Amino acid sequence: MIKKIEQINQSATAEINSVKTLDELEAFRIKYLARNGLVGDLFDALKTLDKSDRPLMGKYLNDLRNNAQSLFDKKKEEIESNTTIRQETDDLTLPGRRRWIGSRHPLTQTLDEIKRIFYKMGFEVADGPEIEDDYHNFEALNFPPDHPARDMQDTFFITDKILLRTHTSPVQIRVMEKQKPPVRVIIPGRVYRNEAISARSYCLFHQVEGLYVDEGVTFSELKGTLVTFAKQFYGSSLKFRFRPSYFPFTEPSAEMDITCFLCNGKGCRVCKQTGWLEILGCGMVDPNVYKYVGYDEEKISGYAFGMGIERIAMLMYGIDDIRILYQNDIRFLKQF
Amino acid sequence: MRISLGWLKKYVAINVSPEELAHSLTMCGLEVESIEYLGAKYNHFVVGKVIDVQKHPKADRLTVCQVDIGAEKVQIVCGAPNVAAGQTVPVGLIDAVVPRDQHDPNGNPLKISKVSLRGVESNGMICSEYELGLGDDKEGILVLEASAPIGVPLADQLGVNDIIFEIGVTPNRPDALSHIGIAREVAAIQNIKLMLPAIDVQTNDTSISDLVKVIIEDVENCPRYSGRLISGVKIGKSPLWLERILESVGIRPINNIVDVTNYVLMECGQPLHAFDFDKVSNGTIIVKSGIDDFNFTTLDHKERKLRPDTLMICDDKKPIAIAGVMGGENTEITQSTTRVFIESAYFLPRSIRRTAKYFGLSTDASQRFERGADPEITLWALNKAADMIISIAGGTVLGNSIDVYPNKIKEKEIVIRISKVNELLGITISKKEIIDLLTKISFKLSNKESTKSNPDLLSLLVPSFRPDIEREIDVIEEIARMHGYDNIPVHEITKLRLSENNPPKDFLPIIRDCFIGAGLQEIVTNSMQPISIATLASDNVVKIANPISRDMEALRTSLLPSMLEVIRENIFKGNSSLRLFEIGKTYYHHHSIIGEYLPQYSEKTQLLIAFTGNQNPLRWDEKPRNIDFFDVKGEIESFFQKIFLDNIKFIHYPNTNALSERGVHIEINKEYAGMVGYVRKEILKQFDIENEVIFAEIDIEKIINKIKIKRHYTTLPKYPSMIRDIALVIEPNITMDKIEEAIKASGTSLLKHIELFDTYSGKQIGDSKKSYAFRLEFYSEDHTLTQNEIDGVMNNIINELEHKLKAIIRR
């Protein structure tokens, strides 16, 4: 009897290891644990033993049954908990179970940083349509019809008078149409230019426009705001310069350059040997613009500025082909 | 605009380096975009003397030359037939880059290195005119004057040491589109004198008015028309210096007459046009518009259909030039031309702009007229041209010039306020300083009576070459520019008066963070696509009238197609497990009036997420599993949970969309807000994607105003909750949402939470049925629940399920 018990115990312990599926486990149960299984048979045989032997053998048999049952339970849990088999391992240097990670697109990261800085300076966000009319995109921004300034921006037209905005500046008009001064907003958004696609230019890009109109706003303040921004964004040791430029909707107009941070102003390929990088255009809002939105040009003054997010991102991250920003190759995006 | 430093020096004595000059021009608004050192292309080229010429031992056509280059003698194998001992020649040494390789079909540059030609060493190249980019002669080497000093750099010998500034002239500065214009600025910023050449034209005794008659019919669009007649000219090639200087500023030499007109254009900015006077009928010039339905052939041999608003130069029979844009073939200067009529006019910018746009023709002339030429310079330019022509092409200038200028354009007078200048710029500048700055750039003081008594006012006369200056603000800009933007202080303290508007919260970063936190990667895609793709999701496609290509003819109506393109490209590059999202706009054209900004157009901000490939990164203890519908739906549900959006329903829909099949609509407060679904197999095939892609699309505007920003604290339960599980067997057509509804309806206020924790279908419950198991959580805000209470509620629920859904409860 004892021998039999031991045999069954050994075979059950051995067999359970080869059990992989619930069906096999069921076969195991029928073989050992069912009423007329191997263990059950032995219990039946218990009655044929001497009375004096029965308690001890009974205890052995109970142990056998408990062992087989626990093998069965353990295996059942194992199979049910996972179709795969968790291995016990001592190698704690195995990798943990990582999840996918995601990130913001580099353009979003750049924009978010720009926004963060202007929020601190009291700017709010405003928004407007990408499909615009000629009035908001050009006319009210002091681009007269039949004026060569319109050539500065190659335009995609939907109809004669409807177009894809070429800059975020029309939102200046839309904001001022709705709101009285003080107006202090930034306007991020997508803009379109009908230019051949190359490493340096894409048919669309993103801008952040800024507008501040209030009583007594000066050009000196415009410089202050933009220098503060540039130092926050590019680092406080930066050198900068403002040089005269032309935009129909600002006067005086300027472009802001900072020392090329790739060559420290010595001159390199990126800054075209000038040592300077142009980062934005700006100026005092042209009085003609106030006429279009019904502001009294004698009572208020203001400034506006605009920068291209792609350009800034490309400079920041050392990207030399604008198109890669729109290809969304995951190997590229994972770098940010 | 290309500006030659050598040319500039004719008008101003520049005493700073080219780099410093470039910087000061840039800082006064004439941005020098690049500096080109013309001599640089002749680095490693020197003047040499051929000492000895021997036949090449192995090649009939080659010779072996010994060339003296001053410091040493070099051996050069040469293929030119005309090489001979004693010649002075241009020699390219090792490392020189020959501008044009004459054996290359495209004439690409060629770098010289030490070579062995059929066994004979060659250490350089004797170059032809073509190779040096000096002309078209490829037949033999260029032989220089015998007196040329041996060993000097070739650039010095050729006189090509000029420096060219590429200046980006903004559209408001037509006055800077010439060398004199730039010289004027240089004189002002360097505080030096501008020296304009004096012109003294020798004329004969015949008066031009005996031969030429000019009538301006359209005075509005042509305020001034001047001209001169030169007879007895001989048309030919211009002298080398003239061709060279024109080429250096980017103008192709044509013949001596046209070259002179172009020279004067580049010198003073006034466009001139030369007519073959013998082809002008009856010596009559009429400036008019109103010619309709006429095909006119311009100098570029293209036929152009005239419009009534096109201002034309005509003789008494026919049009002969498109005014201010381009001349006509019918009066072109040719080899046989002997009498030349030079036109120097002032046309109205608007008119020229319209015409140039209409013909799609932008010429050196039209660019200047449409920005605004100087009406007062016509005669100076004319005389300069006449003077040059007789010295270059011979002939005599007829006495007098034509000058039809019926209404003299008045000098502009502008009054500025000194206080306004200081207020707007944030500086302190005196009236005296302002006068000083402005007179440097040719403004004159006018003593307007009304300004005399007020010291704050200053009245000024604007120079005729500054059409851009019309208002006080324009003058303030000039003051700022001449004062120097860098001298305006940086005022860093700004007052912080905020608008009383309470701007809407920017939710996009929050939404973005939710999905990035869930391991999704943000993408940004092009919003332009082919019409065939844009129409997949909507018929209301916005079409672009002048697209770059057919591939970008329409604006997207869904974010899905560009997402699929990104998925395809990434799979192609070996990354097939992707979890991506984009937040972007979609665009629609409507026939009815519904847009927020423009009546017939609308834009929607959408969120799109898409999954394909494995649900998890590869793990060592887990079999990879493909993503499925519930992974995406779960992501959306978690998102809604995270932004506390409730009242959401997912409604199963069969096959209703061109892009997707099998999925659910998302409804918030019974309003459609988006969907989750499988991308259609046909669409995947169209995009070359073999794997399954599951996506969700949400209309951001539909959820933003429903996000509950203001949270309100709910007291935490004071009494323990009780859990009951319930499993039911139902018909397969009974969906989860129906069951949930039934449980909620019957669960009373004690039921706080329902969670599905198991589903089953199989033999044990009958083939056609399914079983769902739920865990229900109950608690009360005011007492501890008893078993009896819960039993009662459970009975309610069971009753409801049994009666409404014919469910069988598994016990």
Higher pLDDT, A85 or B397: B397
Q: How confident is the model at residue B762 (pLDDT cuts 50, 70, 90)?
A: confident
Choose, out of B366, B369, B470, B548, the residue to mutate when testing the contact with A (most A CBs < 10 Å).
B548
Chain A residues whose beta carbon lies within 8 Å of the beta carbon of residue B523: 105, 328, 333
Q: Are residues B129 and B236 in the same domain?
A: no
Subunit contact A131:B171, Cβ cutoff 8 A: no
- A265-279, B174-188, B270-284, B612-626: segment of lowest average pLDDT: A265-279
CB distance A210 to A122 below 8 Å = no
Does B434 lie in the same domain as B374?
no
Residue carrying structure tokens 């006012």: B457
Four-CA torsion B719, B723, B724, B726, nearest 10 degrees = 140
Inspect the interface and report whether the beta carbons of A219 and B426 lie closer than 8 Å: yes
Q: What is the CATH number of the domain that holds B734?
A: 3.30.70.380
Q: Is B299 within a domain?
A: yes
For A108, the enclosing helix (H) or strand (E) is: helix A106-120
How close, in Å, is residue A157 to chain B by CA atoms? 5
Q: Are A138 and A150 in contact (CB under 8 A)?
A: yes
- C-alpha to C-alpha distance for A23 and B719, rounded to whole angstroms: 45
Q: Which residue of B has its CA nearest to A131?
A: B601
User: What's the pLDDT tens digit per position in B406-453?
Assistant: 999 999 999 999 999 999 999 999 999 999 999 999 999 998 777 888
**Position B731: which residue type?**
E
Mean pLDDT of B56-74: 91
| Res B678: pLDDT | 94
The candidate with the shortest Cα–Cα distance to B608, out of B582, B634, B632, B589, is B582
Indicate whether B195 belongs to any domain: no
pLDDT number for residue A88? 67
Chain B residues with CB-CB distance to A188 below 8 A: none
Stretch B508-517: mean pLDDT: 93
Residue-wise pLDDT for B345-380, tens only, equals: 999 999 999 999 999 999 999 999 999 999 999 999
State residue B502's pLDDT score. Answer: 65
> Any idea of the CA torsion for A153, A157, A160, A162, to the nearest 10 degrees?
-100
Residue B656: the pLDDT is 64
Which residues make Cβ contacts (< 8 Å) with residue B342, sequence separation at least 6?
A: B227, B228, B229, B230, B261, B272, B273, B274, B275, B382, B385, B386, B389
Angle CA B713–B717–B720, to nearest 5: 160
Instruction: Flag whether pLDDT at B655 surpasses 70.
Output: no
Q: Between chains, do A246 and B480 touch, taking CB under 8 Å as contact?
A: no
Structural tokens at position B511: 């939404």
CA distances from B534 to B537, B564, B699 (A): 6, 13, 17
- C-alpha span between B254 and B246 (Å, rounded): 10
For B227-263, how does the pLDDT look when each residue is reduced to its tens digit (9 = 90+)? 999 999 999 999 988 998 999 999 999 999 999 999 9
Rounded-to-integer distance, Cα B379 and Cα B385, Å = 10
Q: What is the least distance, in Å, from the CA of A269 to any CA of chain B? A: 12
- Winning range, highest mean pLDDT, from A286-290, B204-208, B783-787: A286-290
User: Look-up: residue for tokens 């649900």?
Assistant: B615
Give the C-alpha separation, A251 to B473, whole Å. 7
A185 to chain B: closest CA residue: B499
Q: What is the DSSP string of B544-589?
A: -SS-SSGGGSEE-S-SHHHHHHHHHHHHHTT---EEEEEEEEEEEE
Q: Greatest CA span in chain A, whole angstroms?
A: 121
Tell me the two tokens of residue B793: 């509620």
Best of A158, A271, A277 to disrupt the B interface (most B CBs within 10 Å) is A158
Burial class from Cβ neighbours inside 10 Å (0-12, 13-18, 19+) for residue A235 reads: exposed
d(CA B359, CA B306): 9
Are B674 and B526 members of one domain? Answer: yes
Per-residue pLDDT, A151: 79
Angle between the B240-248 and B256-268 helix axes, to the nearest 10 degrees? Answer: 50
Are B527 and A124 a contacting pair at CB < 8 A? Answer: no
pLDDT of residue A271: 83
DSSP secondary-structure letter at B92? E
**Domain match, B421 and B361 both:** no
Chain B residues lying within 8 Å of A103, measured CB to CB: 516, 521-522
DSSP conformation class of B764: G
CB B70, CB B46: distance < 8 Å: yes
Q: State the DSSP code for A181.
A: S
C-beta atoms of B497 and A214 within 8 A: yes
Confidence of residue B500 (pLDDT cuts 50, 70, 90): low
Any domain includes B487 = no
* Whether residues B564 and B649 fall in one domain: yes
Q: Is any Cβ of chain B less than 8 angstroms from the Cβ of A81?
A: no
| Token pair of B659 as six digits | 């892009």
Instruction: Name the residue in chain B with its Cα closest to that of A107.
Output: B524
**Chain A positions in Cβ-Cβ contact with residue B488 (cut-off 8 Å):** 219-220, 223, 242
Nearest CA in chain B to A206: B524
| Coil vs helix vs strand at B543 | strand
Phi, psi of A133, deg, nearest 5: -100, 160
Q: Is the pLDDT of residue B136 over 70?
A: yes
Compute the residue count for chain A. Answer: 336
Number of domains in chain B: 6
How sure is the predictor about B521, in pLDDT bands with cuts at 50, 70 and 90? very high
pLDDT of residue B11: 96
pTM: 0.83
CB-CB under 8 Å, B425 with A223? no
Same domain for B764 and B792: yes
From the CA of B387, how many Å to the nearest CA of chain A? 33
Give the other-Cβ count within 10 Å of B221's Cβ: 23
Q: Which residue has the tokens 């069988």?
A: B808
Q: Pick from B552, B557, B553: which is nearest to B589 by CA?
A: B557
pLDDT of residue B46: 94
Residue B152 to residues A93, A233, B146, B149, Cα–Cα distance (Å): 73, 52, 13, 6
pLDDT for the residue A82 = 59
- In this predicted structure, the answer to whether residue B503 has a pLDDT above a threshold of 70 is no
Rounded to whole angstroms, what are the CA distances from B571 to B194, B558, B733?
Answer: 66, 21, 37
Question: Distances from the Cα of A178 to the Cαs of A293, A332, B432, B602, B705, in angstroms?
Answer: 9, 41, 42, 19, 21
Q: Are residues B660 and B539 in the same domain?
A: yes
At residue A87, does pLDDT exceed 70? no
CATH assignment at residue B542 = 3.30.930.10
Instruction: Indicate whether B316 and B360 sit together in one domain.
Output: yes
Q: Both B265 and B125 in a single domain?
A: no
Residue B171: which of A148, A203, A328 has the nearest Cβ?
A148
Length of chain B: 811
Task: State the average pLDDT over residues B779-788.
Answer: 92
More confident of the two residues B530 and A23: B530
Residue B520 within any structural domain of the chain: yes
Residue that terminates a domain, selected from B352, B369, B404: B404
Cα torsion B583, B584, B590, B594: sign: positive
Restricting to A residues 40-79, those with a Cβ less than 8 Å away from any Cβ of B are: none
Which residues in chain A have Cβ-Cβ distances shorter than 8 Å to B473? Answer: 251, 284, 286-287
B390 and B328 assigned to the same domain: yes
**Beta-carbon separation of B424 and A219 below 8 A:** yes
> Does the pLDDT of residue A224 top 60, yes or no?
yes
Of B578, B561, B523, nearest in space to B686 by CA? B561
Do B106 and B235 belong to one domain? no
Q: Look at residue B489 and tell me if it is in a domain.
A: no
Q: Is the per-residue pLDDT at B533 higher than 60?
A: yes
Percent of chain B with pLDDT over 90: 75
Of residues A102, A182, A326, nearest to B525 (C-beta)? A326
Distance CA(B557)–CA(B532), nearest Å, equals 11
Average pLDDT, chain B: 92
Tell me the three-class secondary structure of B639-692, residue by residue. HHHHCCCCCEEEEEECCCCCCEEEEEEEEECCEEEEEEEEECHHHHHHCCCCCC
For testing the chain A interface, which of B26, B28, B477, B567 should be mutated: the one with the most A CBs within 10 Å?
B477
CA distance A35 to chain B (A): 22
Nearest CA in chain A to B514: A102
Q: How far is A64 from chain B (nearest CA, A)?
A: 31
Q: How many Cβ atoms are within 10 Å of A269's Cβ, its own excluded?
A: 10
pLDDT of residue B286: 96
Q: Which residue of A has its CA nearest to B472?
A: A287
pLDDT bracket for residue B791 (50, 70, 90): very high
User: Which of the listed residues B704, B730, B753 is the one where a domain comes to its end?
Assistant: B704
Residues B340 and B445 reside in one and the same domain: no
| Cα gap B31→B294, rounded to integer Å | 42
**Across residues B159-168, what is the average pLDDT?**
91
Answer yes or no: is B201 within a domain.
Answer: no
Taking the C-alpha atoms of residue A115 and residue B474, their distance in angstroms, rounded to an integer, is 32
Inside any domain, residue B320: yes
B279 closest CA partner among B346, B220, B215, B327: B327
- pLDDT, one tens digit per residue, over A48-76 is 888 888 888 888 888 888 888 888 888 88
Q: What is the pLDDT of residue A86?
A: 54
Tokens found for residue B38: 């013309």
- Contact A111/B at CB under 8 A: no
Distance from C-alpha of A64 to C-alpha of A72, rounded to nearest angstrom:
12
User: A280 vs A168, A175, A178, A229, A331, CA distance in Å?
Assistant: 13, 21, 26, 11, 30
Instruction: Give yes or no for A158 touching B (CB within 8 A).
Output: yes
Instruction: Give the mean model confidence (pLDDT) for residues A141-164.
Output: 88
> At B24, which CATH number?
3.30.56.10
Beta strand pairing call for B521-522 and B578-589: parallel
Return the pLDDT at B646.
81
**What is the span of the domain harbouring residue B328?**
208-404
Residue A252 preceded by cis peptide, ω within 30 = yes
Could you tell me how many CB contacts below 8 A there are between chain A and chain B? 250
B383 band by pLDDT with thresholds 50, 70 and 90? very high
Give first-to-last CA distance, chain A, whole Å: 72
B713 belongs to a structural domain: no
Q: Which residues of B touch A132 (CB under 8 A)?
A: 597-598
Cα of A12 vs its chain's centroid, Å = 55
Contacts of A253 in chain B (CB under 8 A): 477
Q: Which of B119-133, B217-231, B650-664, B777-791 has the highest mean pLDDT?
A: B217-231
Q: Cβ–Cβ of A162/B525 closer than 8 Å?
A: no
Question: Which chain A residues contact residue B596 at CB under 8 A?
Answer: 129
Q: CB-based contact (8 Å) between A184 and chain B?
A: yes
Q: Is B788 helix (H, G, I), strand (E, B) or coil?
A: helix
Amino acid identity at B387 = D
Q: Which range is least confidently modeled, A118-122, B47-51, B649-653, B750-754? A: B649-653
Helix (H) or strand (E) holding B124: strand B124-126
